[in-house]
Chains A and B, each alone.
Chain A
Amino acid sequence: MAGRHRSPHAGQALEFVGHRAYTPSDEYRRIDWKVFAKTDRWVVREQQEDTHLRATLLIDTSRSMDYAGAGRLSKTRYAGILAAALSYLLTHNQEAVGLGLFNDKLEEFFPPRGGAAHLARLLEVLEEAPTGGGTNAPAVLEAAGQRLPRRGLVMLVSDFWAPLDSLLAGLRTLLARRHEVAALQVLDPDERDFSLSGDFRWEDLETGAVLRADAEEIRETYRRLMRERQEKLRRGLASLGVDFYEFDTALPLEKSLSLFLERRMNRG
C-alpha cells in the first residue's frame, strides 16, 4: 500500500486494464459486447486512473469478537491493532482512511480523511473501542454505504459469525455503490480448530444461549462444519469479487500484516 496505487474504479478517458464480471450497478455501455458474443459472459471494461485511495475500516465490535483463547489477544484487540496498523500505513502514504465500529448497528463512524490528527483520533477510538451487542451485517453495511458518498476501499474486519446470507446481502449493497470491499476475518484458533477438551457448559457470547457438550465428542464434526462454513464464505465472497483474508490470533500480527500487504501488492 506504499506510494501511489492504481484504482480499480472506472472513469472516462482512462486506460483499459481489463475485464471484470458485470454487476447490476454497472452501466450497459460499459459492457464489452464483443466478449459477450464470443463467450456469452457479461463483463465490463475496467479502466484505471491515478487517484488517492479512500479506505474505510469497518471493525466488528460485537460480543463474539470479545473472545480470547488461552494466552492470546481477544479478537477485538487483535482487530483493533490490525486496524491501527493499517490506518497508520494508509495515513503515512497520504491516503485517506476512515473507521467504523459496528455490532448490530454502526456505533461509530469516521469518514475517510488524511492527516496526523485524524489518525490520532482513530487510534484513540480503536484503543477504547467497547464490545457488545450482536451482529446485523445488512443494516450496518447499508448504513456504512450511505456514509460513504465516494467510492473507495472498504475493509471489513470481523469474525463473520453472522449468517452468511445476510452478510453477503449486505456486501452487495456496498458493492452496488461501487466500493471495493475486502473481507478480513479474525478468528481465534479455538474457533477454527476446536482443540478443546472436556465436558463444558457452553455459553454463546452474543446470544447468551447455553448448552452442554463434550468438546472431544463433537470436535471432528465441528471441524468439518467449520471447513464447510469457511468454504461457503470464500465462495460467496469470491462470487461477489470480494477479497478474503484470514487472520489467526495465534499468529504474530506483524507476520499476518506482512502477508496481507504482500497479497494486496500482488493483487495490484
Chain B
Amino acid sequence: MNFTFLSPAFLWALPLALGPLILHWLSRAKPRPRVFPSLELVRAALKSQIYRSRLQNILLLIARCLLLAALALLFSRPMMHWRRGGASPDQQLSLLFLLDVSYSMDARSAGASALDRARQEALAFIDRAGPGDRLGLVAFSDKVEMTLPPSSDFEKLRGALQNLKTTWRPTRVAPALEVASQMLAGDQQGQKAVVVLSDLARNGWAEILSPPRFPAGTRVLLKEAGPAMSNAGVTGLRLLEGRAEALEGSFTAQAWETSGPRAWRVSLRQNTVAQGSLTLPAGGQTASAVFRAAGKGAGLAAGEVSLAPDVLAADDKFFFLWQRPPVFSVLVVSGAPGLSPVQDESFYLMSALEELSQRGVTARKIFQEDLLKQDLAAWDVVALLNPMPLNQQAAALLSAHVKKGGGLLVTAGDNLEKSAASLAPLLPVRLLSASRSREALRLSDAAQNRDVGRALSEQNGFEWGRVTLNQRQEVEPLPGAWPLLVTGESGRPVLVLRRADAGPTAFLATSVDRDWTNLPAKPAFPVLCREILLWLAGRQGNTGRAALTVDQPFEWTFPDPLLVAVTVERPDGFTEEAPVRAGRLRYDKTQDPGVYAIRARASQEPVAWFAVNVNAENGEGDPARVSEERLGELFPDIEWAWVPAEQPAVEVFNERLRGKDMAPLLAALVLSFLIMEILFSLPWRRRETPSHALAGEAG
C-alpha cells in the first residue's frame, strides 16, 4: 500500500499533535507550592487515586494528540492505493467503456435488463468524471457495433448510451478488445482504463487467442452487469418434410443453472397446434420433444416453437417454415401396355407415383384406348407415355385440357414415330429424328435457375452422369421452351418444359421404361417425376424458403429474369425494397429473428420466405461467468479487477485508480477521539456537592 495526499500542505500541521504533550510537560514542570492544614486526607486520596487518575490523564493526553494528528491528516486528504503507481490527482483519465449488447444482455431481473444496469453503471462514471477526463465507448456483440473515441463530450456519450439496445447476436469480446487497444494506443497522456460492462458470460471469452495489447499502465475493470440467472432455450428444430396431412417434427432445448419441467407450445399461423411439457436436465444437457399436429391450409406456413418465458426471452422461441406438400392428381395414359405389368410403359412411373402417394399425389393408369372415356378436367396432369397416334377426338380432348391449364407430359418411345404428327400441336418441341447414342445426362445450365431444377440439384450425391441414354428422340425446343435435362457432351435437350398461353407441357425425349435409358431405375427418377408433375400441375413450390441464423444473408434466384426489385416484409412489421440483380436476390439485413416474407411487385402472395433464428449453439444462453483464471491469462501484465453485480463499479474504480479516500475513516477517528476527550475529561466519580457549616449536619 502507498499513500498520496490531495492537500499535502496540511501535513505541516502534524507536529501540532505533540502540543498536548508539550503543554502537559510544561504545566507539570513547576508545581505551585501550597500549604494545607493537614495532608492526612490529601495523602490518602493521592494514594487511592493515583493510578486511576494517571491512567485517565494518559488516555486523555493520547486522545488529544491523536485528535490533532487525525485532524491534520483529514485536511491533508490522504488517498490509499492498493498497488503501485496510484494516479496522482492531476493525472487525467482516458477511459473506454466496453459495453456488451449481445442478446444475453437482455436477461431481466427485478424489472431491469443487464443492459439497463450496465448503462446505469456507465452513467455513474460520467457523473463522477473529473473535468479533464475523457470517456469513450465501444459497444459490442460478436462484432463491434459502434464506437465513440474518448472525449470530454459527455452529453454525446450519454446520448449514445441511452440509444443502445441489445442485438440478437452472441458475444465475442475479442474484436472489442482489439478496437479498444487501438483507441487507447493513440492516447498519449493521462491514465488509461477500460471498463467492461457485460454479463461476463464465458462463451464470449473463449475464442480470444492472445491477450489484448493495451498500453502499459492500463487498468481494466470488469463489471458484472447483473446476477447470473438460470436460463433455458430452444436450440434446434427438425421437421419431417413431405407430410401432407400433419405437421411433424421435434425440437431440442437446453437449460443452464436450472432443471425441471418447462411448458412448450408449437404454433402455426399464430394458432397453437401442439403443446406439452419437457423436463430439462441440469448441467446444460439437451432434451428433445416430439410434436405432431394436423396441418391446415395449403402452401407455406410460418410457425414457431416456444418455451415458457424465462429471464432471457431471446432464446425461448424458434421460428420455422412448414411447406405442406401440394396435392395433385395424375392420369397416366400408357401407350404401350406390354405383356406384363413390368413391361408396361407405365410401370416405373406408376411405381414412382405410388411412392409419392403418401405425399398427396393421386395417380391412375389407363390405356390409351380408354382416354376418351375420361373427364380430363378432374386431373391436374395427363401423362402420355409412348403414345400411339391420337385420333382427332383424343387430340382435341388433350388440347382442351392443356388450354384450360392442365399439364401434359409426353414421353418418347417406339410409338412416337407414328404418332408424331398427331402430337405435334401439343408438344413443346419440334420432333426430329430418333437417334441411338450412348450419352450420360446432366441438368442443363438453365435448370440451375429454375425451381424445378433446384429441387433436382439438391439431390446430393446423385450422379447424373450415371444416367445414360442408349436411344433418344432428337428434338428442337419451341420458342419459350427450355430444357431441364440435356445430354452430357452434346448438350442436346432430353427433357424440355414449356409454359405457353395454352398451358404447361413437357416432353421427355427418351422412354420411361428401361428400353431406351436406365433413368427409371435411378433414385432421382421419383424426384424427377414429382418435380415435373408438380410443375405441370401448377403446384411447383416456386415459393422459396430458407432457415437462417441472425446475420446470415438470404439468397434466392427468381424464375422471372425481368424481376429487378422485391419487397421484404420484416418480422418487426416494416417493409423495404431490395434490389434483384439478374434474377438473384441477396438480402443481408437479417439481424432480427423471425419470419421474413419476400414479395415481388404486384404479387399478393410471397414468392419466398425465410426464418431467422438466433444462433443458440454457441452457448450464449449459458449464464456461467468467465473464470478469474481465464481473465488472468488474458491480462497477465495488466492490473484488473472484477466487480460483482451488487457492487457499484465506479466506487471500486476510483478506489483502484485514484486510491481509497481516507477522509471518511479519518473523520470517524476525529469524532471518536473527540468523544474520548469528553469522556476522559469527566470525573470518573460523581461530583460531590460542597457541604456548609452547621446547616443540619451536627448529630
Contact = CB atoms under 8 A, between A and B. Distances in A.
Contacts of A214: 53
Given A161-B40, A191-B37, A199-B32, 15 more contacts: A161-B37, A191-B38, A192-B691, A193-B688, A198-B32, A202-B42, A203-B33, A205-B36, A220-B683, A220-B687, A221-B48, A234-B698, A245-B698, A246-B694, A251-B694
B35 interface: yes
A243 interface: yes
B562 interface: no
Nearest to A258: B694
B37 A217 contact: no
Interface in A211-250: 211-214, 217-227, 229-230, 234-235, 237-238, 243-248, 250
Contact of A251 (B37, B688, B692): B692
A201 interface: yes
A201 B32 contact: yes
Contact of B688 (A159, A209, A227, A235): A227
A159 B49 contact: no
A139 interface: no
Interface in B1-59: 27-28, 31-46, 48-50, 53, 57
Given A188-B37, A220-B687, A259 B694 contact: yes
Interface in A45-69: 64-65, 67
**Highest count of chain A CB atoms <10 Å: which of B691, B692, B697, B698:** B698
Nearest to B34: A200
B37 A199 contact: no
A67 B698 contact: no
Contacts of A223: 688
21 contacts: A75-B37, A187-B693, A192-B690, A193-B690, A201-B32, A202-B35, A203-B35, A204-B36, A204-B38, A205-B37, A207-B39, A212-B31, A213-B45, A218-B42, A221-B49, A221-B685, A223-B688, A225-B41, A238-B699, A251-B693, A256-B694
A195 interface: yes
Contact of A199 (B31, B42, B683, B690): B31
Given A218-B46, A229-B41, A234-B699, A205 B693 contact: no
A9 to B, nearest CB: 22
A255 to B, nearest CB: 9
A160 to B, nearest CB: 10
Contacts of A205: 35-38
Nearest to B42: A202
Given A226-B41, A244-B698, A245-B698, A193 B691 contact: yes
A126 to B, nearest CB: 20
B36 A202 contact: yes
By size class, the interface of chain A is 35 or more
A29 to B, nearest CB: 30
A260 interface: yes
A195 B688 CA distance: 10
Given A213-B46, A248-B694, A224 B688 contact: yes
Contacts of A200: 31-34
Contacts of A263: 698
A96 to B, nearest CB: 25
A221 B698 CA distance: 22
Interface of A: 64-65, 67, 75, 159, 161, 187-193, 195-196, 198-207, 209, 211-214, 217-227, 229-230, 234-235, 237-238, 243-248, 250-251, 256, 259-260, 263
A181 B691 CA distance: 25
A222 B41 contact: yes
Contacts of A188: 37
Interface string B659-699: 00000000000000000000000011111101111110111
Interface string B512-546: 00000000000000000000000000000000000
Contacts of A246: 693-694, 697-698
Contacts of B44: 221, 225
Contacts of B36: 67, 190-191, 202-205
A204 B693 CA distance: 23
A217 to B, nearest CB: 4
Contacts of B32: 198-201
Contacts of A238: 699
Contacts of B695: 259
B383 to A, nearest CB: 127
A225 B697 CA distance: 17
Q: Which 9 A-B pairs have the closest CB atoms?
A: A248-B693, A193-B690, A64-B37, A217-B53, A221-B45, A218-B45, A161-B38, A222-B45, A200-B34
B694 A201 contact: no
Central interface residue in B37, B46, B53, B685, by most chain A CB within 10 Å: B37
A207 B41 CA distance: 14
A67 B41 CA distance: 16
A226 B698 CA distance: 15
A234 B698 CA distance: 7
A213 B42 contact: yes
A237 B688 contact: no
Contacts of B40: 161
B690 A218 contact: no
B26 to A, nearest CB: 11
Contact of B49 (A212, A218, A245, A248): A218
A123 B5 CA distance: 80
A80 to B, nearest CB: 16
Nearest to A238: B699
A243 B697 CA distance: 12
A209 B38 CA distance: 9
A189 B688 CA distance: 14
Contact of B42 (A75, A211, A220): A211
B46 A64 contact: no
A29 B1 CA distance: 97
Contacts of B687: 220
Nearest to B36: A202
Contact of A209 (B39, B48, B690): B39
Contacts of B53: 214, 217-218
B45 to A, nearest CB: 4
Contact of B39 (A75, A211, A229): A211
Given A204-B38, A248-B692, A211 B697 contact: no
Contacts of A64: 37-38
A67 B35 contact: yes
A60 to B, nearest CB: 11
Residue among A75, A204, A238 having the largest count of chain B Cβ atoms under 10 Å: A204
Interface centre among A222, A243, A247, A250, by most B CB within 10 Å? A222
A170 to B, nearest CB: 18
Contacts of B697: 230, 234, 246
A191 B31 CA distance: 20
A259 B695 CA distance: 9
Nearest to A188: B37
A199 B688 contact: no
Interface string B116-160: 000000000000000000000000000000000000000000000
Choose among A75, A195, A230, A248 the residue with the greatest number of B CB atoms under 10 Å from its CB.
A248
Given A205-B35, A214-B53, A243-B698, A189 B42 contact: no
Contacts of A230: 697
A237 B699 CA distance: 9
A161 to B, nearest CB: 4
B106 to A, nearest CB: 73
B56 to A, nearest CB: 8
A235 to B, nearest CB: 8
B47 to A, nearest CB: 9
Contacts of A218: 42, 45-46, 49, 53
Residue of A220, A237, A250, A259 with most partner-chain B CB within 10 A: A220
Given A193-B691, A195-B690, A198-B32, A204 B39 contact: yes
B57 A217 contact: yes
B679 to A, nearest CB: 16
A81 B686 CA distance: 37
A136 to B, nearest CB: 15
